[in-house]
């Protein structure tokens, strides 16, 4: 999963989202919470359209009974030179 977040790009999302996210997966940041692999993929793909650059610093990874929980800090530049730093979890 760490590799998945190294490059936030549409081709990477299309290639990997369904295999990395289960139907019960969730993604939460300060703007939105989405659940399910397809919904997460759709949200990420829509986000790439507005993004100039995006990096995730993984702050913590926990695994229990085959399920993983990630806490991260996202550093994002949106078209129009708007910069955002956001905590989140998946």
pLDDT tens for 25-75 read 888 877 789 998 899 899 989 988 888 888 878 888 888 888 888 787 878
The position carrying tokens 């999302």 is 13
CATH for the stretch 10-89:
3.10.450.50
Global confidence as pTM: 0.72
pLDDT tens profile 16-25: 888 878 888 8
Residue 42: per-residue pLDDT: 93
Encode burial over 62-75: b for 16+ CB neighbours within 10 A, e otherwise: eeeeeeeebebebe
Q: Rounded to whole angstroms, how far apart are CA atoms 51 and 25?
A: 23
Instruction: Please name the residue ranges forming H helices in 1-90.
Output: 10-20, 37-48
The dihedral through the CA atoms of 38, 52, 7, 31 has a sign that is negative
Q: How confident is the model at residue 4 (pLDDT cuts 50, 70, 90)?
A: low
């Amino acid at each position: 999963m760490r590799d998945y977040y190294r490059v936030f790009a549409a081709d990477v999302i299309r290639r990997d989202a369904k295999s990395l996210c289960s139907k019960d997966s969730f993604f939460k940041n300060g703007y939105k919470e989405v659940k399910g692999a397809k919904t997460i993929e759709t949200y990420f793909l829509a986000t790439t359209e507005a993004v100039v650059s995006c990096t995730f610093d993984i702050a913590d990874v926990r695994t229990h009974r085959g399920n993983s929980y990630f806490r991260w800090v996202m550093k994002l530049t949106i078209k129009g030179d708007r910069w955002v730093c956001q905590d989140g979890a998946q």
